[in-house]
Amino acid sequence: MSFPIVRHRRLRQSTGIRNMVRETHLTVDDFIQPIYVTYGENVKSEIKSMPGVFRFSLDRLQEEVKEIAELGIPAVLLFGIPETKDSVGSSGFAEDGIVQEATKLIKSWYPELLVVADTCLCEFTDHGHCGMVHTVEVDGHICGDVLNDESLELLVKTAVSQAKAGADIIAPSNMMDGFVQAIRAGLDENGFSHIPIMSYSVKYASAFYGPFREAADSTPQFGDRKSYQMDPANAREALREAETDVLEGADMLMVKPSLSYLDVMRTIKDNFDLPLVAYNVSGEYAMVKAAAIQGWIDEKKVAMEILLSMKRAGADMIITYYGKDASRWLAEK
């Protein structure tokens, strides 16, 4: 046999060696746990398409937040389901809105736990779109378009109200053109120049959001979101979206979804020197859960491999419904 013989397996011989040469590491500090808050009393209702994920009313919220904090997860991402909706999503920027009230409670219980506020209107509008819409009736069907610049004014009001309530990070997910610049200016003008923006910079019009639509009751009542969310076929466009957000003042960039867009995540990581956030979305979670319930896969191993792949692709933070489980699994080592 010719010399030298390359023996790659030498560095795989034992657990100790594998641990020492491991390139990518997951820790509890990587995770952001989403929470759904809703109106009513004594509500803890499981979301059918997301086993193990619940909607909580404010009087039941502390039990969930306590568990998250005790596991050492550093941050939560809040989504709100309001009691009433209207065409402009006014409950999204109300001082006593569901997200605002949840934020105040969480910060009073656990001041060190970071509250990330999702800044969008889809959960609060009666039409389910992420901004104001202009609608017309065509052949008996409602058609319309989302108004970009008019929506920015409402998104700024939402972000400012969330910051006033105590949110540590504003996370705008609406994909309107110019949303980072508008929100940055609004926060600065209202005394919140210290609040960072975690921008949903690269958000695709994805089928993986299906369970979230059930969880947040945010299915569009007409049309779809393809006119403002990105085409899944496009990767170079992601660079333009991210660059715009960087120039407008974003502090963190996000790719959503993540599992089917690991290539995009790596491209963003290699081209921009800002923290990168992966969103391990509802459909990705639901697929693993469904297969695990059937006994077809090892849930722990598959979920952790998925999270590790996102970290390996460049993620500094991962928003994931597996945050609590993954934190427990890491503690078992």
Q: Which two tokens stand for residue 302?
A: 């598959």
User: How far is 211 from 216, CA to CA, in rounded Å?
Assistant: 9
Q: Is 143 annotated as ligand-binding?
A: no
Q: How far apart are CA 88 and CA 305, in angstroms?
A: 41
DSSP 127: T
Tokens standing for residue 102: 């949840």
- Check the annotation: does 299 bind a ligand: no
Residue for token pair 């909706």: 85
> 203, 269, 289, 311: which is the annotated catalytic residue?
203
Residue 282 in marked binding region: yes
120 labelled as ligand-binding? yes
In the DSSP assignment, the letter for residue 225 is: S
Q: Which of 48, 157, 256, 289 is catalytic?
A: 256
Residues 209/287, Cβ–Cβ less than 8 Å:
no
- Check if 256 is active-site: yes
Q: How far apart are CA 254 and CA 256, in angstroms?
A: 6
DSSP secondary structure string for all residues of 157-181: HHHHHHHHHT-SEEEE-S--TTHHH
| Strand-pair category, 75-81 with 114-119 | parallel
Phi, psi of 151 (to 5 degrees): -70, -30
311 a catalytic residue: no
Do 69 and 311 touch, CB atoms closer than 8 A? Answer: no
Going by the DSSP 8-state scheme, the letter that residue 187 receives in this structure is H
Q: Is 130 annotated as a binding residue?
A: yes
Q: Is 7 annotated as a binding-site member?
A: no
C-alpha–C-alpha distance, residues 163 and 73, integer Å: 21
Q: Which residues does the annotation place in the binding site for Zn(2+)? A: 120, 122, 130
Task: Cite the annotated binding site by residue number.
Answer: 120, 122, 130, 213, 225, 241, 282, 321
Annotated catalytic sites, by residue?
203, 256
